[in-house]
Amino acid sequence: MTSHKIALDWVRREVDSGRLPCAVFGAATSSGIEVLEAYGTHDGRATRVDDHFALFSVTKPIVGLAAMRQVERGLMSLRRPLAEVLPGFARKDVTLWHLLTHTSGIFEQTLNPDDLVEHLVTAPSLFEAGTLSHYSNLAFTGIAEMVRDVTGRDVASVIDDELNPLGGLTFDPDCSPAEVHGLDLFGPGFDFPAFIRLRHPAGALFSRAEDLLELGSALLRGSVVHPVTHAAMTTPQTTGLVKLQPDPVNAGQDWGLPWNLRHSAPGLLERRLYGHGGASGCQWWMYPDHDACFVLLINVVAPSLRGVDIDNLHNAFTTGLPTTPFSAAAPDALASGVAPSAAFGSGA
């Protein structure tokens, strides 16, 4: 735990100051969980390390992993058009690659439509696929439908069977998650219960910290996807494309498949990382060169508006790590003789 003291102190200060009502922080290596601590209170009680939190967009890379496991099995192609799966979708230029990289040009008008697939099929076009980058939640409905087409199961079932060995990843709100504060920041048209009822593949997952840490540890071991797949997923795909409505919090980043790659982030000391954040402030990041990952589960929409700078946690985490980097990055797993585990056995 000593190596994580700086990061733990950062989390404790944010909660003690009142900027965050509660938090669960954990860190792991390829060997497993190293630290897991809970702070503050929510819903009238002390926070526990096994509490569930709403992940929002941290859902995206998990859905992306479910899709990429089908790609590496040869069941579907990154170049497969969405129109082959949804004949009512008129655009022929949108492929799985565009959906994963936020380059599809699909315009979403609401986060909680009556029917996600119908909303996708009838969505207007913002631009020709692949010409610009624009963050899209609705695109992940297309990814989920492509997974369903080749597996015969919905993406929630695929995640449960292939990426959820501890059983804590769930689309079920009956897991008693921490209440999310600041939902009004989404605007008057957002209905969080309706969003959850949709089991929205862009952001409706709930999780405990240990579930993400277990999955992160497996990614560091190279036992979730094949090293070749991992390398493709963590290679910048959108370099040079103009971003519509760029996010200042995520400056200096590109999209992988579909990891957030903050390779030029001005606030980070260590930029060799991949992961994702969510609207509720939750964070899940892997540092493969250091054989380390961390999870921060919180329940405040847009925590930067409260003065919380997540980059400071990144820096506190990385400067607390051993100074000699490990070499356990997933692309090297085969060379080191690491075999996929039973729980996360790659389909390759």
Three-state SS at 183: helix
Contact by Cβ (8 Å): 300, 20: yes
Contact residues for 331 (Cβ-Cβ < 8 A; gap 6+): 222, 227, 228, 230, 231
Separation in Å, CA 237 to CA 99, 226, 231, 274, 348: 12, 19, 12, 13, 22
pLDDT band at 251 (very low <50, low <70, confident <90, very high): confident
Q: How far apart are CA 60 and CA 278, in angstroms?
A: 9
Predicted confidence (pLDDT) per residue in 303-326, tens digit: 999 999 999 999 999 999 987 654
337 has pLDDT over 50:
no
28 has pLDDT over 90:
yes
Contact by Cβ (8 Å): 151, 269: no
Contact residues for 12 (Cβ-Cβ < 8 A; gap 6+): 39
Q: How far apart are CA 343 and CA 328, in angstroms?
A: 19
Please give the single-letter amino acid code of residue 45: R
Q: What pLDDT shows up at residue 2?
A: 58
Q: Mean of the pLDDT values across residues 144-160?
A: 98
Q: What pLDDT shows up at residue 258?
A: 97
Q: How many C-beta neighbours within 10 Å does residue 149 have? A: 15
pLDDT band at 3 (very low <50, low <70, confident <90, very high): confident
Predicted confidence (pLDDT) per residue in 256-282, tens digit: 999 999 999 999 999 999 999 999 999
Q: How far apart are CA 323 and CA 314, in angstroms?
A: 15
Separation in Å, CA 213 to CA 252, 286, 292: 25, 10, 10
Contact by Cβ (8 Å): 234, 224: no
Domains and CATH numbers, the chain: 2-332 (3.40.710.10)
Three-state SS at 134: coil
pLDDT band at 336 (very low <50, low <70, confident <90, very high): very low
Q: Tokens 């008057």 — which residue?
A: 188
Beta partners for residue 28, in sequence order? 33, 293
Strand 254-255 vs strand 292-297: parallel, antiparallel, or unpaired?
Answer: unpaired
Summary count for the chain: helices (H), strands (E): 10, 10
Q: How far apart are CA 201 and CA 220, in angstroms?
A: 24
Beta partners for residue 300, in sequence order? 181
Q: Mean of the pLDDT values across residues 157-170?
A: 97
347 has pLDDT over 80:
no
pLDDT band at 284 (very low <50, low <70, confident <90, very high): very high
Predicted confidence (pLDDT) per residue in 34-56, tens digit: 999 999 999 999 999 999 999 99
Contact residues for 11 (Cβ-Cβ < 8 A; gap 6+): 20, 23, 25, 37, 39, 296, 313
Three-state SS at 213: helix
pLDDT band at 128 (very low <50, low <70, confident <90, very high): very high
